[in-house]
Amino acid sequence: MDKDLPLSEVVKMDEQLQAYCNADPGFAQFVDRHAIVAATPEVRKAYRRWQYDLMLNQLDKERQEEKINAQLQESEARGEARGRAEGRTEGRADTQMEIALKAFANLKQGQRVSDITDTLKSYGIPNDVIKAAKKQSKS
C-alpha cells in the first residue's frame, strides 16, 4: 500500500506502536513534529527534489551501464572479426607455402622453375612465399 498518510495516522493503526508512542515521550514528540515538518512546503519540495535526484542518478547509472555493455559488445565483435581475419591470413600463408612446395616438387618430374614460378604467381602467391618454397625444395 502506497498511501501518503501522516505518521500519527500510521501510529494509530498499530496497537504496539501506539503503546510505544504513549510510553516514550521522545517518540511521541517525533511523531507530532514529523507532521508539522512534513506539512511545510519547503520540506515537501526538498523531499520531492531528493526523490527526483535519486531517479535521475539511477537513470544515469543505467545509461552508463548500457553504454559500457554496448562498448564491450562492439569490442568483442571487433576482436572476433580481427581474430578471424588473422586466422585466415595465417591459414592462407600456410596454405600458400604448402601449394608452392608441392609445385616445386614437380621439378623432379621435369618441369622448369620459371614455369612453376609463373603458375604460382598467376594464382596470387606472393614472391616471398615462392622464393622460400623454392629454397626449401632445393634442400
What mean pLDDT is predicted for residues 125-135? 85
pLDDT-derived band at 87 (thresholds 50, 70, 90) equals low
What mean pLDDT is predicted for residues 91-112? 75
Query: What confidence score (pLDDT) does residue 85 get?
Result: 64
Domains of the chain, by residue range, sit at 1-39, 40-138
Query: What confidence score (pLDDT) does residue 102 get?
Result: 81
- Asked whether residue 106 carries a pLDDT value surpassing 60, the answer given is yes
93 Cβ neighbours under 8 A, 6+ residues apart: 129
- Asked whether residue 138 carries a pLDDT value surpassing 80, the answer given is no
- Single out the residue of 23, 31, 40 nearest to residue 6, CA to CA: 31
Query: What confidence score (pLDDT) does residue 1 get?
Result: 45
